[in-house]
Chains A and B, each alone.
Chain A
Amino acid sequence: MNVTKRMKTLLASHFLLGTLAMAAPSMEDFYKREEIPLPKGEVMEIGSIALMPDQRVAVTTRRGDLWICDGACGEDLSRVTWTLFARGLHEPLGMFYKDGWFTLTQRPEITRLRDSDGDGRADEFRTLATPWGINGDYHEYTFGSEPDREGNIWTVSCLTGSFHARSKFRGWCFRVTPEGEVLPTASGIRSPGGVGFNAAGDAFYTDNQGVWNGSSSLKHLKPGGFVGNPTGNIFYEETDALGERPPDPREESRMEIERKRVPQLVPPAVVFPHGKVGQSPTGVITERSGGKFGPFAGQVLVGEQTHSQVQRVFLERVNGVYQGAVWHFLDGFRSGIVPLRMSGDGHLFVGTTNRGWGARGGLPFSFERVTWTGTVPFEMHEMRARPDGFEVTFTEELDPATAGDPASWKMQAWTYIYRSKYGSPEVDHAEPVVVAAAVANDRKSVRLKIEGLVKGHVHNLKAPGVRSKDGRELWHPSAYYTLNEIPAR
């Protein structure tokens, strides 16, 4: 190739890039992010959010305050008012409101509190349960859920210093009934960032990259299960509730291999590849607005502290094991997200803080909301494992020429070392090949036939060349599917 020809090619490709860049989708097209004004002079590092009747929203702060916000769902956020409800709480990281009572998962205990004399401030603080120990180590966080379908709160307790089990039941999940009965539920937790439920009502939590976690992930809290970090398994001696202590996983192994040895081991449902999809996943909620927040009703949304984002997750159950895909979703929040809540009318609320753990965004804390603009983003919607590939559905009708061309699709796969060392590089790389892409009759899905799927690996599907019927490119063209199981049919 001579120099002149090279220049022409360069110019041509630049021109092409230029036209496409004009059409590049961005968040503002689909979702509106707004900062909710905070009470003046207060340090509002938000640890939990609760939805209340009359469109009020309550938040707790890491310093231990509980504030009630009026107007957070309103059109004009400058009219928001705040009322202090309680002070002197111990770092609550979970909250809900029911029948006049707040129920808080505080660092030392689960507490119900209310205003019994009607003066607007809490005056009754009833300790419901104290299932786990604390020893004064700052890292011994406990996150708590909203009630499940039976009214139980699910709690997940971080290891001491995120490495050790120096207080009772660090690394365990409990269910606590409305009467305060404590049910040991699962073991194997390292450092959680939030706990919630999927649309089916099963409990999931996020666990952060570190020892025995090659990367961060969303894990299924299967009752009786062991979710991977054996440090807290010394507490099987304290209870018969989960049966026999599982054998410890072997060093420098793989999740896929250890699953065969350790029957209680529940593999991460969806791995969030470290650096590629955030670094510190946090709150877990299900999108329950029934369409008011766009086309993703029923999917799971996960907060991200370091990168100040919200990720979107599709879950399915194959051979009884949860697995699925994660996509980037919302971005640009002003500090590190910890809790999420979505109101029935489609307001997504996020609370943020960057104290002690850095985050993008530039603010030390914020309270923000996101609403849907009404424009449907062109996105992969769901991604299901098939015996010989994947089936991917879309939010919009596809352009069959690009979507039906196997060359529009790329796939890479890898896994992580399962070990007591902190984190893992991506290992055992594989390059599964998309050999066929069949667009469905309704043009809303594609059946990908893939050679070289690897059971247990994260499969990164990229579709930069796929276009919608009207020529739009995907807002997020990259999906990360964790293939714990390959369906037989």
Chain B
Amino acid sequence: MRFVACFFSLLLLAAALPAQDGKVLYETFCGACHGSDGKGANDGQFPPLAESAWVKGKPDLMLQVILHGLTGEIRVPSPNAHNALYNLVMPPQGGTLTSEQIAKIATYVRRSWGNKEGAVTVAMVEEQRKATKARNTMWEANELLERHPLPGAKKKAKQNPAIANLLSYVYHGSWSQRPDFKQLKPVSVEEEHKGLISVTHAGRKDAFGIVWEGEITAKKAGEYKFKIDSDDGSAVIVNGELVAEVKGTGAMNRGQEGKIRLDAGTHDIRIEYFEKSGGQDIALAMRGPDTGGWVPLSETGARKKGTPSIPIVPLPREAAIYRNFIEGTTPRGIGVGYHGGVNLAFSADHMAVELLWTGNFMDGGRHWTNRGQGNQPPAGTKVVKISGGPAFAALESQTTPWPAAYGEALAPVFRGYKFNAAQEPTFFYTLGGHEVTDQPAPVIGNNRHGLARSITINPSGDGPRRLYFRAVHGRKITAVNAHTFDVDGIMTIETGKGGGAPFVRDKDLVVPVDLTGGEAAIQLRYTWN
């Protein structure tokens, strides 16, 4: 009998081998990112496979991801990910791994870490290969999920939105208390098919209000709780009854909760919101006897995990530099944040200060997590784009169109920068061999911040000696006097001595630069209104 038992255990061992094989293959080819425990390596920085909707149901979806790879944003419904957003690249494996290897890996994944899905056969992999034989690019989620929806996704789509028949009414005005919106006239009305309220659709960031109206469904009669938080004030009104209110102005974290008894069926909901100035946001959630916890009724709160915030903060006597992809300037962008709330972005492609803004400098969250894809906008406020394209040009006359790029004669070469004791950079570059320095300096005022700029051009090269400098490009410019100009009502620019008489043409403020007599200097001061 003992021998028989032993023989059986050998058989069992043999039967267990393919699964073991799948584990070894998984650990070799997949484990570094998805984790040995299937939860996604590095605290879930990578998508989990454990109890992931992408693994559940028919294996076609996961096989397509393995075969052809996946790029761009995806959401992963899994208790290990909380529907988190990922933006990575899954490299295609179909060209490398055999169908047998893929079948073993997929089977292992579908039977591990709480997954209880059916095995994947070589034939299933072959079938998926055949179905997408001509494909030679990676999948993007939208395209793939249209063909192979996540299990339950269809059902979800048919489900009623959180708030049915949702309309948003936008109002313009500045209030310190919630106004009587019924006495006001909305500037626009929109249908909100997602059924979630959001302040991002207002089209402006200060001095506005929004009223949303729609219907919520109570499946069971009982007590329903509502919690609301907002920046600035808000109120939630159900069946005409005020349930909870965030009074006055102020930032988030002033949340209020209220309750109301509802019969089974649909009920009118109305949310009133106003934003005076500064930040803006609203979060609303509902909880009832049938909801199984809080149900978000706003986009804020429905987002469980996004890009973390990593503020980059200039210190006293230590300006901050951020060299990365900054929205609004070119890829060779250099952000400079000065202590006190003045910031700029210099383009080392265009050799120009292109962006000015106040308040917070930059957030590293986008570029310092995951692969760091995309451009990051300035973190502060009053962002003004003052330049784009070449900042200098040699023109036939004052009416010659501005060139789209530096030509041969003014070929630009970036030379770098040097810090002063406060780590504030002076930029160096050459244009057509002429040596140029651009020294920005923050002007921290009590109410009005600004930036002073001192540019010197040394005619050391063979390039043209009569140039024009574009101090501002692409804005509405109004001359206040010969050396003072208003930019879009946002900013005032003063030109100092040196350089020729500035003039406005089209949407540009242009300063003539004459190098025939030697070095020239341009003094500028930009001040936010």
> In the complex the two chains form, what is the Cα distance from A111 to B45 in whole Å?
32
A275 within 8 A of B: yes
Verify if A355 is at the interface (C-beta below 8 Å from B): yes
User: Are B96 and A106 in touch, CB under 8 angstroms?
Assistant: no
B484 within 8 A of partner (CB):
no
**In the complex, per-residue mask of B359-386: 1 if CB is within 8 Å of any chain A CB, else 0:** 0000010001111111100000000000
Would you call B332 and A423 a contact (CB within 8 A)?
A: no
Q: Per a CB cutoff under 8 Å, which of A126, A209, A354 touches B42?
A: A354
Binds A, one of B183-191, B275-283, B322-330, B468-476: B322-330
- Ranked nearest first, the 6 interchain pairs of A and B with the lowest CB-CB distance are A88-B321, A358-B33, A423-B96, A356-B371, A90-B323, A358-B32
What is the CA–CA distance of A123 and B91 in the complex, to the nearest angstrom?
Answer: 41
Query: Interface extent on B, as a size class?
Result: 35 or more
Chain A 2-14: CB-based contact to B (< 8 A → 1; otherwise 0): 0110010000000
Partner of B33, one of A89, A134, A357: A357
4 extra interface residue pairs, beta carbon distance < 8 Å, beyond A3-B3, A126-B415: A108-B323, A123-B419, A275-B29, A419-B95
Q: With A3-B3, A127-B415, A127-B416 as given contacts, are A306 and B32 in contact (CB-CB < 8 Å)?
A: yes
A425-B42 contact given A109-B332, A134-B332, A359-B32, CB 8 Å threshold: no
Given contacts A3-B7, A306-B32, contact A356 B370 (CB under 8 A): yes
A contact set with B: CB distance below 8 Å: 3-4, 7, 43, 62-64, 87-91, 106, 108-109, 111, 116-117, 121-127, 130, 134-136, 138-139, 209-210, 274-275, 279, 306-307, 336, 354-360, 364, 417, 419-425
Which B291-331 residues have C-beta < 8 A from chain A?
320-325, 331
Which of A91, A126, A357: most chain B CB closer than 10 A?
A357
* CB proximity of B233 to chain A, nearest CB, Å: 38
- B347 CB to closest chain A CB (Å) equals 11
Chain B residue nearest in CB terms to A424: B95
A contact residues around B97 at 8 Å (CB): 425
> Which A residues touch B325, using CB under 8 A?
136
Residues of B within 8 A of A275 (CB): 28-29, 96
Asked whether, in the complex, the Cβ of A64 is within 8 Å of the Cβ of B32, the reply is no
Q: Decide if B368 touches A125 in the complex (CB within 8 Å).
A: no
CB pair B92–A4 under 8 Å, yes or no, is: no
Decide if A88 touches B320 in the complex (CB within 8 Å).
yes
Specify which chain B residues have a CB less than 8 angstroms from the CB of A139 in the assembled complex: 371
In the complex, the answer to whether B414 meets A279 with C-beta atoms within 8 Å is no
**Complex interface: chain B residues within 8 A of A7 (CB):** 3, 6
State whether A134 touches B6 (Cβ < 8 A). no
Task: Convert B58-75 into 0s and 1s, putting 1 for each residue whose CB lies closer than 8 angstroms to a CB of A.
Answer: 000000000001000000
Contacts of A420 in B (CB 8 A): 136
Check B368 against A121 for contact (C-beta < 8 Å).
Answer: no
Contact A358 B3 (CB under 8 A): no
Complex Cα–Cα for A421 and B95 (A): 7
Would you list 5 pairs from A and B whose C-beta atoms are within 8 A, ordered by A residue?
A89-B323, A108-B332, A109-B332, A130-B414, A358-B34
- Tell me, rounded to whole Å, the shortest Cβ–Cβ distance linking A177 to chain B: 16
Partner among A64, A123, A127 whose Cβ is within 8 Å of the Cβ of B414: A127
Task: Pick from B7, B321, B323, B413 the residue with the most CB of A within 10 Å.
Answer: B323
Given contacts A138-B372, A425-B98, contact A63 B88 (CB under 8 A): no
| A364 vs B423: C-alpha distance when bound (angstroms) | 30
CA–CA, A306 and B321, complex, Å: 31
Q: List B contacts of A422 (CB < 8 A).
A: 69, 91-92, 94-96
Q: Check A88–B6 contact: CB distance below 8 A.
A: no
Set B32, B324, B370: member contacting A336, Cβ < 8 A:
B32
Find chain A residues with CB under 8 A from B374 CB: 136, 138
Inter-chain CB contacts under 8 Å: number: 131
Asked if B224 CB lies within 8 Å of chain A CBs, one says no
Task: Kindly provide the distance from the CB of B461 to the nearest chain A CB, expressed in whole angstroms.
Answer: 16
Residue of A106, A127, A358 contacting most chain B CB atoms (<10 Å): A358
Shortest distance between the CB of A337 and any CB in chain B (Å) = 12
B32 touches A87 (CB 8 A): no
Cross-chain contact A356 with B88 (CB below 8 angstroms): yes
The distance in angstroms between the C-alpha atoms of A106 and B334, with both chains bound, is 13
Residues in A neighbouring B29, C-beta threshold 8 A: 275, 279
B439 to chain A, nearest CB (A): 14
Asked whether B69 lies within 8 Å of A358 as measured between CB atoms, the reply is no
Interface status of B353 (Cβ within 8 A of chain A): no
B10-34 CB mask vs A (1 if < 8 Å, else 0) is 0000000000000000001101111
Given contacts A4-B3, A123-B419, contact A210 B91 (CB under 8 A): yes
CB neighbours (8 Å) of B92 from chain A are: 422-423
Complexed CA–CA distance, A43 and B34 (Å):
22
A109-B414, A138-B373, A423-B95 given; A355·B3 CB < 8 A: no
Instruction: Answer whether residue B46 sits at the interface, using C-beta atoms and an 8 A cutoff.
Output: yes
Measured CA separation A108–B334 after assembly (Å): 11
Among A109, A124, A336, A424, the residue within 8 A (CB) of B96 is: A424
Question: Taking the complex as formed, is B418 at the interface, i.e. its CB lies under 8 A from any CB of chain A?
Answer: yes
Tell whether B49 is near chain A: CB-to-CB under 8 Å: no
Query: Which chain A residues border B456 with CB–CB below 8 Å?
Result: none
In the complex the two chains form, what is the Cα distance from A425 to B101 in whole Å?
A: 11
Chain B residues whose CB sits within 8 angstroms of the CB of A357 once the complex forms: 32-33, 371
Evaluate contact between B32 and A135: CB separation under 8 angstroms.
Answer: no
Q: Are A63 and B368 in contact (CB under 8 A)?
A: yes
**Are the CB atoms of B332 and A87 closer together than 8 Å?**
no
- A121 cross-chain contacts in B, Cβ below 8 A: 423
Given A4-B3, A138-B371, A423-B92: A358 and B331 interface contact (C-beta under 8 Å): no
The answer to whether B113 has its CB under 8 Å from any CB of chain A is no
Asked if B93 is at the interface of the complex by the 8 Å CB criterion, the answer is yes
- Asked whether A87 lies within 8 Å of B320 as measured between CB atoms, the reply is yes
Cα A364 to Cα B369 with chains together (Å):
11
Q: Which of B41, B414, B419 contacts A354 (CB 8 A)?
A: B41
Question: Chain A residues with Cβ under 8 A from B96's Cβ?
Answer: 209, 274-275, 422-425
List of A residues within 8 angstroms of B33 by Cβ: 357-358
Contact B414 A358 (CB under 8 A): no
